[in-house]
Structure 1
Amino acid sequence: MFNFFSKKSKISWKITIMYALMFMMLLFFINISIYCFLSLFIDGNIKKSINNTSEFVLSQLSILGDPIDYFDADILQEISRSEENIFFRALDGEGNTKAQSRYLQGMKIPISSDITQFRSGDRMLSVKTFELKNFAFSRGFLQVVRDITFEKNFLDFLILVLMVAAAIGALISVLLGYLTTKRMLSPINKITETAREIGSSDLGRRLSVSGPDDEIKKLALTFNSMLDRLEQSFKKQKQFVSDASHELRTPLSVIKGYVDLLDRWGKEKEEVRDEAIQAIKAEAENMKHLMENLLLLARADDSELKKEEEEFSFNELIAEIIKEFQLLASEIEFEFDAAAKIKLLADKNLFKQLLRIFLDNAVKFSSQGSSIVIKLDKMKNDYFYFSIADEGPGIKETDLPYVFDRFYQADKSRTRKKEGSGLGLAIARQIVDSYQGKIEVESEPGHGTKFIIKLPLKNC
């Protein structure tokens, strides 16, 4: 039996055996209860019958004089006929039989003041001996015997029936338990078969969900939800690899072209050599920047975004980053509106990168003479926000849901500059997510774009 509970056993067999064991235990206690109740009930009736008959006979003898002389076989036989299955034997003071019912002839009957059971041949009897000491002229004993063969046979037959019923019930419980368990676990078997058949190239398959809203249905729904996430993750991974390959192909092609140019003309013409070196150096720098961004995103995906936290003034950090961009884009006006002073305990370098990403994005989409407005203020519930708004061409409503996707670029014709790998906003979202914040985008074609970043003060 213990093999059913080993680690390799099927759960259907384990449930079936456990169900059968519990059912057998229940049958056992019910059968024992039935047997004990009937046995006690029958014993009680036997004792009551003997005691009542004895009291009646003794009360009648008390008015007849000497009971030993009064008793004879005919009288005892007549009394036995009136009392079903009850017989009498009269003994003198020495224990010798003076008179008895014919049913008791040749029978050895024990003398006991308590009700005692004994066997005579194939018959079971119960006897109680009364001492005749309250009579004036005699001393002796009266034995009242009751034949309990039928009751004992009934109890023996009852226990046999109960045992057979328990055995049949156990077999039925095993069969019903197995069939019920198999039917209940069939959806799990379907889940297992589907999981075996699904591969990385076949993530579109789903389990059919039907039936009552029970744990099995919830498991199937959870499994389908997991497949949805896996399929989406695989698609993103595939798209990520494709986009990364595409982004790396261009600088590698440029580098290869200039290497070929150097090989042909670089030894003879210094201007060609210098141009090729500068171009190769610039493309190598772009590739380095791209790989660093990819590494940052990969670490963020694996929850390994390392932070070196320190306390700093966010107002001063914004002013510092604005000063950098004023030098790089002097034709654009930067406005900083700080309605509150914010002190943060966070990774200063990550927040520098966050600000540079949004400002760089705003500069790319701003025309000469336009302005970029940066606002900073506190919010309710220990939150603060900062926003960066430009006066660029804006973003189409159809593109808004995808602006934070990796390598996504809405309409490249809207940018003044073609630099950029499309990873900036994806990195920004990873940084904000790591601090339990959120980013909102407000944009309308022809009316600029506004990014609003909300962050909790307590987590920074």
Structure 2
Amino acid sequence: MNKKANSTKKVTSIAIKLNAVFVRKLFFKFLVIDVFLILFLISTWCIDAEISFYGKFVPDAKRSLDFFPIESSTYKVVWDNGKTMIKNASGYIYIVHRVITAIAIIEGLSVLKEIIFGTIKIRRTLRPLDEIAETASRLSNMTFDEEKFQNLEEAISKISPDSSDEKIYTGDSELRGLEEAINNLLERMRDSYRQQARFVSDASHELRTPISVIQGYANMLDRWGKEDESVLNESIAAIKSESDNMKNLVEQLLFLARGINGKTQISCKELLLNDMINEVLEESKMIDKNHIYEYNNSEKIIVYGDIGLLKQAARILIENAVKYTDTNEVIILKTGVNEKGEPYFSIQDNGIGMDEEDIPHIFERFFRADTARGRKNGGTGLGLSIAKWIIDGHKGYFSVLSRKGIGTRITIFLPKPK
């Protein structure tokens, strides 16, 4: 109880000191404002009086202002040509005096209010810190039961990290919060382990397929390719194609691994989204002559991002649209700003589309919606995962609209420029 009283006294003492510093600063701030206000009001009146009398303001004229007594205060100006102005300033000085007095009363009441209530307000602000300090002090004085922690250690040692349903349970209500924290950590670790295992398994499967194809054609070459030129040409073409696929897959795996490990840096700078999408559009038209490209441009849109990585994300969406859109069909690119002020660009096709239940999974590594969107379209299953990593790194997000047999529109929203 005495410790709590001492703690309260300390907090009160700190609050009084802080309030004294604040009141002192407030007083001097009001004083400086009042001085500047007086100087401004009097200077404005003097200059106006000179202009009214002489027609202009002459900086080199000799001036004097007699304030006291206020009833007979005058402002005197003597110009180089001998012309003299003596103007009664008592009325204006009296008005300034009344205005400054009223302001000073208001300022004085503000200072008085802070003197009386400021300490209470600061104590209220410091209360959470006081409670934290009190809790820390209480915890430091607690006596822990060593047997409880031995029970917790034994429970932890019995847990298998690979098991999906095992959890720590000691039956002690005082350790329940610690148990929940450890169990939540275990669940996150297991989920990470499952994702890693699935990724390794999928990567192994994806790499095994082109290797098997290459091996098959190599065996065919060994048997018949030496004599049959058609077999030789077919085998060479297939081996080159699968080698390219495997190279692309390995490069994309390395890109994702570097990104996850923080080795791929995002270098952001200001850029025009319209120009960037237009460049990607021209590249696509040059590479792909089998589809019709349309670009719905908008006013100039400035974004802040890594132009190289954003282009890569746009190319990935266009490549996906090309794979699943028939020859001579239209692919539409669009830029704009939504009602929240967020800039965006979208890629729309009228290809095969996707089922609604597949949409949440399209950014998962190696995910393919169905056999129609499989290997025969030349994809590795990593493109959209890479695009998502890029856009997540820019603090953006995706919107996906797709209907089976109608087409797909994927929109990338970027943060509103500050």
User: TM-score per shorter chain, which class?
Assistant: 0.5 to 0.7
Distance, in Å, in 1 between the alignment partners of 2:312 and 2:188 is 30
1:342 paired residue among 298, 301, 317: 301
Give how far 1:429 is off: 0.6
With over 3 angstroms needed to count, the CA separation of the structure-2 counterparts of 1:193 and 1:382, relative to structure 1, is: farther
**Which residue of 1 is the match for residue 167 of structure 2?**
206
2:196 paired residue among 223, 227, 237: 237
Q: What root-mean-square deviation, in Å, do the aligned CA atoms of Structure 1 and Structure 2 show?
A: 3.0
Kindly indicate whether residue 380 of structure 2 is the aligned counterpart of residue 421 of structure 1: yes
2:221 paired residue among 262, 270, 279: 262
Structure 1: 5+ residue stretches without partners: 1-21, 23-176
With over 3 angstroms needed to count, the CA separation of the structure-2 counterparts of 1:257 and 1:414, relative to structure 1, is: closer
Distance, in Å, in 2 between the alignment partners of 1:365 and 1:418 is 8
1:45-75 per-residue CA deviation (whole Å, 9 max, x = no partner) reads xxxxxxxxxxxxxxxxxxxxxxxxxxxxxxx
2:348 paired residue among 385, 389, 392: 389
Retained in 1: the 8 A contact 2:156–2:168?
no
Give how far 1:371 is off: 2.3
Retained in 1: the 8 A contact 2:399–2:411?
yes
1:65-101 per-residue CA deviation (whole Å, 9 max, x = no partner) reads xxxxxxxxxxxxxxxxxxxxxxxxxxxxxxxxxxxxx
**Which residue of 2 is the match for residue 197 of structure 1?**
158
What does 1:120-131 align with in structure 2 at a 5 Å threshold?
Answer: none
1:372 paired residue among 315, 331, 334: 331
Instruction: Decide which moves more: 353-362 or 271-280.
Output: 271-280
Give how far 1:403 is off: 0.9
1:181 paired residue among 135, 144, 149: 144
1:255-284 per-residue CA deviation (whole Å, 9 max, x = no partner) reads 111221222233333443333222222211
With over 3 angstroms needed to count, the CA separation of the structure-2 counterparts of 1:272 and 1:394, relative to structure 1, is: closer
Retained in 1: the 8 A contact 2:162–2:190?
no
With over 3 angstroms needed to count, the CA separation of the structure-2 counterparts of 1:301 and 1:193, relative to structure 1, is: farther
Kindly indicate whether residue 393 of structure 2 is the aligned counterpart of residue 452 of structure 1: no
Give how far 1:190 is off: 4.7
With over 3 angstroms needed to count, the CA separation of the structure-2 counterparts of 1:254 and 1:195, relative to structure 1, is: same
Retained in 1: the 8 A contact 2:160–2:166?
no
Give how far 1:337 is off: 1.5
Letter in 2 for 1:202: S
Retained in 2: the 8 A contact 1:364–1:415?
no
Give how far 1:221 is off: 2.4
Kindly indicate whether residue 360 of structure 2 is the aligned counterpart of residue 401 of structure 1: yes
Structure 2: 5+ residue stretches without partners: 4-140
Retained in 2: the 8 A contact 1:203–1:227?
no
With over 3 angstroms needed to count, the CA separation of the structure-2 counterparts of 1:264 and 1:417, relative to structure 1, is: closer
**Which residue of 2 is the match for residue 302 of structure 1?**
261
What does 1:64-103 align with in structure 2 at a 5 Å threshold?
Answer: none
With over 3 angstroms needed to count, the CA separation of the structure-2 counterparts of 1:223 and 1:182, relative to structure 1, is: same
Q: What SS does the corresponding residue of 2:262 show, helix, strand or coil?
A: coil
Kindly indicate whether residue 189 of structure 2 is the aligned counterpart of residue 226 of structure 1: no
2:391 paired residue among 432, 437, 446: 432
Retained in 2: the 8 A contact 1:383–1:455?
yes
Retained in 2: the 8 A contact 1:436–1:456?
yes
**TM-score, normalisation: structure 1:** 0.54
Give how far 1:197 is off: 2.6
**TM-score, normalisation: structure 2:** 0.60
Q: Percent same amino acid at aligned positions?
A: 38
Give how far 1:232 is off: 1.3
Q: What SS does the corresponding residue of 1:376 show, helix, strand or coil?
A: strand
